[in-house]
Copies of this chain bind each other. A is one copy, B any other.
Amino acid sequence: MTRFFVTPEELLPEFLVLTGENAQHAKVLRLKEGEEVLVCDGEGRECLCAISDVSPGQVSLVVKKRQESESEARVKASVYMAFSKGDKLEHVIQKATELGAFEIVAFPSARCVSRPDDKSLKKKLERWQKIAASAAEQSGRGRIPEVITLNSYKEALARAAQADKAILFYENERATTLRMALETGEYSTISLLTGPEGGLEEKEVAQAQEAGLQVCTLGKRILRCETAPLCALSAVMYASGEF
């Protein structure tokens, strides 16, 4: 079923109106009176609606049922990824959204070769949020993950550590597996932190441990910086019973 995102204020209890890009999209899809669509507020609430009228630039809907989204993951997984070159962050934003990430957090670390300056950051954030919105729509999510950027590695550690479980993946870790970390104790929120192209510095790994993060391996193969977060997220979704 086609899925439209509106603001929480626009998700009214009985009648809804789609305008702007949503109305354009409805026109492209040639939706007609009587057809059903889902309208989501991007925060996990949604309405099953029937189209009552299609006018130029405006589609009117009657709410048939209001419900919590059924496609959100049980565990809220925050993907923390170090700033990376080119389109790698965009790739991870798109895929992590599909895979059910709660939010995507980009942060600087010592070996980051690419970090947007403040001027370009605003524009990039807008673009990243659009990528997340589009991926949320296509994958049938009820929530658009927020894309967040932080100013320091320290800030990333402090924020990540607030989750029930906070894990940093390090290619030189051999002993502690993700499974060990996941199988000890319940969790409903989890932070998954991965480094940039050049990896994290040993000092940074020690800092993470001090901040309360657990250091885990993702196996014996070295994963690229854009593969590691998605591998970890897929495993967490599997381990938490999503599929």
Contact = CB atoms under 8 A, between A and B. Distances in A.
Nearest to A70: B220
Contacts of A71: 220-221
Nearest to A141: B221
Contacts of A98: 221-224, 227
A164 B179 CA distance: 24
Interface string A217-241: 1111111100100111011011101
Interface string A62-90: 00000000110100000000000000000
A95 interface: yes
A196 interface: no
B179 A222 contact: no
Contacts of A138: 222, 224
A139 to B, nearest CB: 4
A168 interface: no
Contacts of A70: 220
A141 B221 CA distance: 6
A187 B224 CA distance: 28
Nearest to A135: B224
